[in-house]
Each structure stands twice: as C-alpha cells, then as structure tokens.
A and B are shown apart, each in its own frame.
Chain A
Amino acid sequence: MDRGLFISMTGAKQIMQAQAVNNNNIANASTTGFRADTVSFASQPIYGPGYATRVNAVAQDNGVDFSEGALQSTGSSLDIAVNGPGFIAVQGADGQEAYTRAGALKITDSGAVTTTSGQAVLSDSGPVQVPPASSITIGSDGTISVVPLGLAAAAQSQVDRIKLVNPSIKTLKKGADGLFYLAAGGKSPTDETVHVSSGTLETSNVNAAKSLVNMIELQRMYEFQIKSMNSTDTNEQSAERMMLTS
C-alpha cells in the first residue's frame, strides 16, 4: 500500500480543522472584542528505514490575530473599549487573572462589576465593587467614580480603578473560555499607558473579506488532497491490473 494515501489524509484532516477555525472566526464576526484565531501547519517528515520522502502535515500551535477591531459608539457609560494595545483584567473561571478586550460591563445586584459573560472585573486589589449608584463614570485610566444612590451629584466619589494591563502578546494564550491568560501563569502588572474610552465598544477584528478568501482557498486545498487520494487509488488499481495480466 502506498503511504501517499495517508499523507493526503493528514493534509485533508488538517485543512478541515483549519476550516473549522475559519468558520469559528466568521461566526464571531459580531462578538465584542473577539480576536481572530489563526492556524498554521508544519511538515512532519516520517523517519524510518529508507529515505524520509513521506511528509505528514500536522497542525502547529494556533495563533491569535491581535490587530484592533473598530470602535463602535454605544453611549452607555458602562461600555469601555481599550484604545491601542492593552487588556482589561478579569477573573477567569478558576480564579486566575485573565484578560479581555470585551468591555461591555454590567453591575450585579451585589455591586460587583462584571463582563457580559459574568467574569468579575479586577482592580489591583481584587474584584471591583461599586456602591448602589445613580450614575457611574469610568475614566480613561479605568478609574470608576459614582454618585451614590440617594445622594446629590456633588457627592460624586472615586471608588475603584479597573486594572488595565499590557503584557507582550507573545506571552499570552487563549484559554478554552476565549479569555487570554499569561502562558507562563501569574499576573501582569498594571500598565499606566493603557487607556480606555467610555461609551464605546470594540468590535470583533475578524476581517470578512479575508475570512471568505481563506475559506475558498481551504476548500480548494482540500479538493487537491482528495484528488491526490484519488490518484493514489488509481495508481494502485493500475498496479493491480498489471499484476493480473502478467
């Protein structure tokens, strides 16, 4: 049996996975602060007796496209978008510090500030808490000031500051929950140069045109692989026929 068939199979399998990554990007074209995934493949020669002519395709680590999305004005004081590089620190599912660009915040009945998916937003000293307030303002450095409920506007006070970080994107990985974590674990320090703008949200950075072209390319590449499997099959059949006639 020609191992070429299996080589094509690894190619087809990986391309289908790449298509899944691409489709996931397209599905998230409207997700606030979403960062597109990229996938890369590596050649994996098969070493053994004889010359290593057979090279499998294996999926490499997938990367993340950290380019910025467009800013969308919403007017809501609890919507923040990070200007330029940087992230908002939130508490991941296992209590670890995680980072996100999705700044659609809300306040729970107990006064905790969370993201849409319910992760607590962090300050330098733990989850951000705000008192019941009639108005909330988030400053460009993440400072939250409130007018407590039942008090006049003059009673405005600063309550906490959202932790904004700017770790090197090389040190980040995307977790299974779509949040970013430091690959080596631990926490990133607060970065004073990161600024947010209130009343705006950052859109997904998925490029529709790029994703569609990518989709077509992957489809054709997939067809090449199938074609190649087909040819291998035809070769086998020819060889078989030759054996029979001789």
Chain B
Amino acid sequence: MNVALWAAKTGLDAQNTQMAVIANNLANSNTTGFKADRAMFQDLMYQNVNQVGSQSTQNTQNATGLSLGTGVRIAATEKSYLQGSMLQTGGSLDLAVSGNGLFQITMPDGTLAYTRDGSFTLDAQGNMVTASGYPLSPAITIPITAQSVTVGADGTVTTTTAGTSKTTTIGQIQLANFVNLQGLMPIGGNLLTESASSGSPQVGAPGTNGFGTLSQGSLETSNVNTVTELVNMITCQRAYEMNSKAISTTDQMLQYLTQNLS
C-alpha cells in the first residue's frame, strides 16, 4: 500500500487524539485540582527501501539508500503536575496542598486513590469525604458537638466544642507522594490510582520531608492554561488540515495515474 497515504493518515489520527486531549483540558479548566494532560508525539519506524551501505558486489557498497518514515503516533499522554493557583473559598473543609503531595482517599472497594482536590464535606457519620462521598484516609471524624474545625498547615485537625475554651485534636491528615507522578493512572472523578510505573506511595505529614503544606479555606484550581490550550488547538487544527491536504494530493496523484493510463 502507498506509504504516502498512510503516513498522512497517521498524522490525522494523532492530531485527532491531540484535539481530544485539548478539549478535555479545556472542559476541565474549572475542575478543582485538575492537572492538564498533554499528548506526546513520536515518529513511527522508518522503512528501509534501499539500505545504504549494503554490498552491491563483494567489493563495492551501494552509495545511495532511501528510508521512508511511516508517520507519527501519540506515544503517551502526560499530566503536568505544576501547581494550580489558589482560590480562597473560606470553607473550613476546603483544603489545598501547596507543594508536593496528594490526599489519600479510600475507595468503596477498600483500595486507595489519590487526589489534589481538597473540597471535602462531611457525611452522616461526620467523616470527611470527597464530593463523591469517598472518605479521606486516614479517616478524620468530626464529632457532632464540634463548633468549629481548624486544619493546620501540618494537617492537624482540631475542633472546638460549644461551651468550652479547650480545643481537641482529632487527627492528622496525611499526604502521599510518588517517584513518578506521571505514572499515576487517572480514573476520573478527580482521582488517580497507583500503577506499576508510578512506584509505591510515600506517606507523610504535610510540611515534613518535602511534602507541601495544607491551607485551609482555599482550593487548588485546575492548572490548565487556557491560552496555551487555545494556541495548541490552532496548531493542531492547521496540522490536521495539512495532513488532510497531503492525503487528497496523494489521492489526486493516484487518480491522475489511473485516469491517464488506461
């Protein structure tokens, strides 16, 4: 089959995938704690038509050769773990991590998932849960008698009870970090799970050992840069058009051939 057609076809495919990534980033430009993806392009194998340097006779070598590239593919999509900006909300259970670290969330099946989205609420038992109702791990349970909740920069959760001046420490929020953050698998719902390439989680208290600190009353916004995405969208569209043009030109060449040599 004609390499010219297929090389351009792989270009269309890859640009189409990139457009999907850009569209998803733009759609999530208001998602709390969202980390932007980017598509990584990679050229496909080259096909040797004439091997340069092959022996033309026992004593001589071919001085000429030709290898044809067979196109492009999206090798990976990578998340950018750059810090999003801080949005002040004032909510006492809105937490943002400033620096490294992810909140640990217990999934319904008992496994752990990780997130940068710190918009917690309370469930009927007083547990701190995500918007989807999955509890924070280790579990933090706010007693019903608590009047106010304070989360310190180091993750310590303290409450005050009506009628007393004493504060009670009820737990400490722990963060997790990974050797290869890009290796985490996004599963939707602002959650990421550990994979074979992410390495195992390193757990620690905020503010210690290179972990970021928590700030109460703020949320981390999406780190999608809409200007970058729009510029990417333009380049993606033009590249798509060029590949489409390459296909139609190759088609016209073949058409010319079949129409004029019959």
Contacts and interface: CB of A to CB of B under 8 A. Distances in A.
Interface of A: 12, 16-17, 19-32, 34, 37, 39, 42, 58-62, 74-76, 102, 104, 106-111, 116-117, 132-135, 147-153, 173-178, 204, 208, 211-212, 215-216, 219, 222-223, 226-227, 229-230, 233
Contacts of A110: 199
B72 A31 contact: yes
A219 B260 contact: no
Nearest to B194: A109
Given A21-B69, A30-B239, A59 B49 contact: yes
Contacts of A223: 253, 256
Interface residues of B, number: 71
Given A24-B70, A149-B209, A208 B242 contact: yes
* Chain B interface, DSSP helix/strand/loop, else mixed: mixed
A135 B261 CA distance: 65
Contact of B66 (A17, A23, A116, A230): A17
B75 A117 contact: yes
* Chain A interface, DSSP helix/strand/loop, else mixed: mixed
B113 interface: no
Contacts of B238: 208
A74 B253 CA distance: 40
Given A23-B250, A24-B7, A27-B14, A226 B64 contact: no
Nearest to A147: B210
Contacts of B179: 107, 109, 111, 132-133, 149
Contacts of A219: 249, 252-253
Contact of A134 (B71, B210, B236): B210
Given A29-B11, A108-B197, A222-B253, A22 B246 contact: yes
Interface of B: 2-5, 7-8, 10-11, 14-15, 18, 38, 40-50, 52, 63-72, 75-76, 78, 80, 82, 100, 177, 179-180, 182-183, 196-200, 202, 204, 209-211, 235-236, 238-239, 242-243, 245-246, 249-250, 252-253, 256-257, 260-261
Contacts of B45: 176-178
Given A75-B80, A149-B202, A151-B209, A27 B252 contact: no
B217 to A, nearest CB: 25
B11 A227 contact: no
A30 B235 contact: yes
A27 B11 contact: yes
A178 B67 CA distance: 11
A176 B46 contact: yes
Given A20-B4, A61-B52, A116-B75, 18 more contacts: A12-B257, A26-B7, A27-B243, A28-B72, A34-B41, A58-B64, A59-B64, A62-B66, A75-B82, A109-B196, A116-B42, A132-B202, A134-B209, A149-B177, A174-B46, A176-B47, A178-B45, A215-B249
A33 to B, nearest CB: 10
